[in-house]
Amino acid sequence: MYYQQQQTKQLYAIVFVITLLSITSCKPKNVANAISGDAAAKVYVAPGSHDEFYNFVSGGFSGQMSVYGLPSGRLLRVIPVFSVDPEKGWGYSEETKPMLNTSHGFVPWDDLHHTELSQTKGEINGKWVFANANNTPRLARVDLKTFRTAEIIELPNSGGNHSSPFGTENSEYIVAGTRFSVPADGAGGDVPIGSYKENFKGHISFVSVDQNSGEMNIAFQLKTPGVNFDLARCGRAKSHGWFFFSCYNTEQANTLLEVNASQKDKDFIMAVNWKKAEEYIKAGKGQKMDVRYAHNKYDEATHTATSEIETEVLVLDVAELKDICYFIPCPKSPHGCDVDPTGEYIVGSGKLAALIPVFSFDKLQKAIADKAFDGEFEGIPIIKYEAALHGEVKKPGLGPLHTEFDGKGNAYTSFFVSSEVVKWNIKDLTVIDRAPTFYSVGHLCIPGGNTTKPTPKYLIAYNKITKDRYLPTGPELAQSAQLYDISGDKMQLILDFPTIGEPHYAQAALASIIENNGQIKIFKIEDNKHPYVTKSEDDSKVVREGNKIHVYMSSIRSHFSPDNIEGVRMGDEVYFHVTNLEQDWDVPHGFAIKGADNAELLIMPGETQTLKWVPDRIGIFPMYCTDFCSALHQEMQGYVRVSPAGSNVPLTFSLGKNSTTPK
């Protein structure tokens, strides 16, 4: 046994060396699941060189979004979205706190499941990337000029915003479908849980996106029967104007869903004609409902977020308003619901099914025209299964979850239970290739794999189980992503890389689309409209307003102005408004003060950020720059003197005066 292990290790050593050498002709034999010879060369991005793709990966229960370079798998940035991030002051600085406001108040955490790059005519345009908050339902928009969260909007009448943030082919709308059906918000919500069938409803938000500013607004909601909405995809090209949502728990169970929501042979994919819904809205059929939801925006000129509570939403009842929604039967609790690049084929992945049904958009249209219905579900027509079916992929694997496309007529579906990716032909429904994943794959990503023009060079599998793939780190392990080369006929595993949180869906785009989108490197100091900006050291000052002390502070390599402050008293609230006067790329300054009960500030060139500090004792408090900025970074520091309440120490501030008379 030991001997065998040694031998295996030796074999791996050889594989590694061979891999490094890029000698394809020397493929090792007898190495199960081995990476093949040229894998290292394929993922090697030399020091100083850039990756070919950006990969925007959901951070799951971290609440954040991570950005990786592909093919190297190098982590480039973690963008704070729904969770506080003390490293960047996100949710701690006065400017960013409003971004995490909700109708429930300040919420410091969420669960980010899916990302969606903005599109024009079905292609990635490099402007924004959207994300969903699963727990306290919200949508976020990250601006790809700054790689920062620019807007967060809360979703009323919703519980578990899982079926989100999928968008239409011009990002006209980003949708947000409720996973949990719940009674509508408001006083009518106090009902017995057992009255699910009567009182629980689904609400699907269509959130419009202004194509210039990116600003989001809830255009309307569709009120649907109470089921669980899982995932969604827009129609594209010929099916533009339609949206498809997978639904499970059509049993309408409210307890032990593991068993009770797995009773029926078929659940549904809900086809939504959103152009028809727009017509109803125009015709005034929308019903205004009183709700409360937060709408938070970050202003790049004032470097400050605002949060407003909005109080109204337009709702269309799809049981009453005909021709918006149709149910397509889909086997066994469908999870993924994916539309191919031509817009003709809709792939349903019944996670308990032993086959993959593929529906045809043309057949669906004919079925609707012919009224080929098989009854109704709470007022919504059910299309006859066979009438909409293009065909089934037979015995593809166990536990199909998600499908991405290469634009060459092939689909790639992840199989959770059998831990594999299966490549199959959409037209003739035959399996072409299969590759193991390590282990229990969830989502897949092909760059542009949800667009009309995929770039099918790589496929990334985001796995749920890691086990032995990396050096062990106790009970908790980084979750693994795996990169496959799909440029040939056969999928080839070429890299494992760890991720933050739990990766669910991710999208990737050619770097050129995002590098050349007008990304900014600094904030121009002359454009800084922050109410507490300090544009020169002459302007730096300390002002008392009652028990509030505003410090107008500037930072530049390598000093703060002012750096000596006296006259702060117990009971004061001190606001450090720190402006970074640098105007060069990659010269942030940090700011921290002893005893602050929140976090640091990290201030980009030309930006102003504010840290609130309430001293809890008298004494001398050091403050310093936390981001190594120059050879004299360690000199970038100062002191604040805190005196007792009622002290007569005058409020003074200074920089560079070493000889003040002690008081």
Closest contact distance (angstroms) between CB of 525 and another protein is 6
Residue 322 and residue 277: Cα distance in Å, rounded? 10
Q: By three-state DSSP, how is residue 550 classified?
A: strand
CB nearer to another protein: give 16 or 470.
16
Q: If binding is defined by CB under 8 A, does position 586 make contact with another protein? A: no
Task: Output the six-digit token pair for 425.
Answer: 């032909």
Q: If binding is defined by CB under 8 A, does position 522 make contact with another protein? A: yes
Q: According to CB under 8 A, which one of 387, 460, 494, 525 is a site residue for another protein?
A: 525
Task: Output the six-digit token pair for 432.
Answer: 């072409």
Q: By three-state DSSP, how is residue 654 classified?
A: strand
Q: If binding is defined by CB under 8 A, does position 538 make contact with another protein? A: yes
**Cα–Cα nearest to 148, from 332, 302, 297:** 297
Q: If binding is defined by CB under 8 A, does position 48 make contact with another protein? A: yes
- Work out the number of other CB atoms within 10 angstroms of the CB of residue 130: 28
∠ Cα 437 440 444 (to 5°): 65
Q: According to CB under 8 A, which one of 38, 52, 110, 566 is a site residue for another protein?
A: 52
Cβ-in-10-Å burial (0-12, 13-18, 19+) of 11 comes to middle
Quick one: which segment of 19-27, 101-109, 239-247, 282-290 binds another protein (CB under 8 A)? 19-27
Q: If binding is defined by CB under 8 A, does position 608 make contact with another protein? A: no
Q: If binding is defined by CB under 8 A, does position 145 make contact with another protein? A: no
Q: If binding is defined by CB under 8 A, does position 587 make contact with another protein? A: yes
Residue 177 and residue 229: Cα distance in Å, rounded? 6
Residue 187 and residue 518: Cα distance in Å, rounded? 47
Closest contact distance (angstroms) between CB of 254 and another protein is 53
Residue 472 and residue 463: Cα distance in Å, rounded? 17
CB nearer to another protein: give 318 or 533.
533
Q: If binding is defined by CB under 8 A, does position 75 make contact with another protein? A: no
Which residues between 157 and 196 bind another protein (CB under 8 A)? Answer: none
Q: Site mask, another protein, residues 501-520, x = CB under 8 A?
A: ----------x---------
Closest contact distance (angstroms) between CB of 601 and another protein is 18
Residue spans of alpha helices (H) in 245-391: 257-260, 274-282, 361-369, 385-388
Q: If binding is defined by CB under 8 A, does position 287 make contact with another protein? A: no
Q: According to CB under 8 A, which one of 17, 309, 620, 645 is a site residue for another protein?
A: 17
Q: Site mask, another protein, residues 641-660, x = CB under 8 A?
A: ---------------x----
Asked if residues 59 and 501 have their Cβ atoms less than 8 Å apart, the reply is yes
Closest contact distance (angstroms) between CB of 146 and another protein is 17
Place of tokens 């469908």: 334
Q: What's the distance, CA 303 to chain centroid?
A: 22
Return the DSSP state at 491: -
Q: Are strands 441-445 and 325-331 parallel, antiparallel or unpaired?
A: unpaired
Q: According to CB under 8 A, which one of 74, 285, 469, 535 is a site residue for another protein?
A: 535
Asked if residues 161 and 176 have their Cβ atoms less than 8 Å apart, the reply is yes
Torsion of CA 245, 249, 253, 259, to 10 degrees: -150
Q: If binding is defined by CB under 8 A, does position 584 make contact with another protein? A: yes
Closest contact distance (angstroms) between CB of 589 and another protein is 12
CB nearer to another protein: give 327 or 576.
576
Quick one: which segment of 84-92, 212-220, 434-442, 629-637 binds another protein (CB under 8 A)? 629-637
Q: If binding is defined by CB under 8 A, does position 21 make contact with another protein? A: yes
Q: If binding is defined by CB under 8 A, does position 527 make contact with another protein? A: no
CB nearer to another protein: give 50 or 394.
50
CB nearer to another protein: give 179 or 457.
457
Residue 588 and residue 272: Cα distance in Å, rounded? 47
CB nearer to another protein: give 281 or 655.
655
Quick one: which segment of 100-108, 333-341, 452-460, 552-560 binds another protein (CB under 8 A)? 552-560
Q: According to CB under 8 A, which one of 1, 527, 631, 646 is a site residue for another protein?
A: 631
Q: If binding is defined by CB under 8 A, does position 11 make contact with another protein? A: yes
Asked if residues 443 and 402 have their Cβ atoms less than 8 Å apart, the reply is yes
**Cα–Cα nearest to 130, from 206, 229, 216, 231:** 216
Q: What are phi and psi of 385, to 5 degrees?
A: -50, -50
Q: If binding is defined by CB under 8 A, does position 491 make contact with another protein? A: no
Residue 443 and residue 507: Cα distance in Å, rounded? 10
Q: If binding is defined by CB under 8 A, does position 524 make contact with another protein? A: yes
Quick one: which segment of 223-231, 289-297, 529-537, 593-601 binds another protein (CB under 8 A)? 529-537
- Compute how many residues bind another protein; rule: CB under 8 A: 45
Residue 301 and residue 11: Cα distance in Å, rounded? 59
641 membership: H or E segment, kind and range: strand 637-643
Closest contact distance (angstroms) between CB of 403 and another protein is 30
Task: Output the six-digit token pair for 609.
Answer: 């950020």
Cβ-in-10-Å burial (0-12, 13-18, 19+) of 630 comes to middle
CB nearer to another protein: give 7 or 213.
7
Q: If binding is defined by CB under 8 A, does position 558 make contact with another protein? A: yes
Q: What's the distance, CA 473 to chain centroid?
A: 26
Asked if residues 127 and 195 have their Cβ atoms less than 8 Å apart, the reply is no
CB nearer to another protein: give 48 or 546.
48
Q: If binding is defined by CB under 8 A, does position 1 make contact with another protein? A: no
| Chain residues in the site for another protein (CB under 8 A) | 6-7, 10-11, 13-14, 17-18, 20-23, 26, 45-46, 48-52, 511, 522, 524-526, 535-539, 554, 556-559, 561, 581-584, 587, 630-632, 656
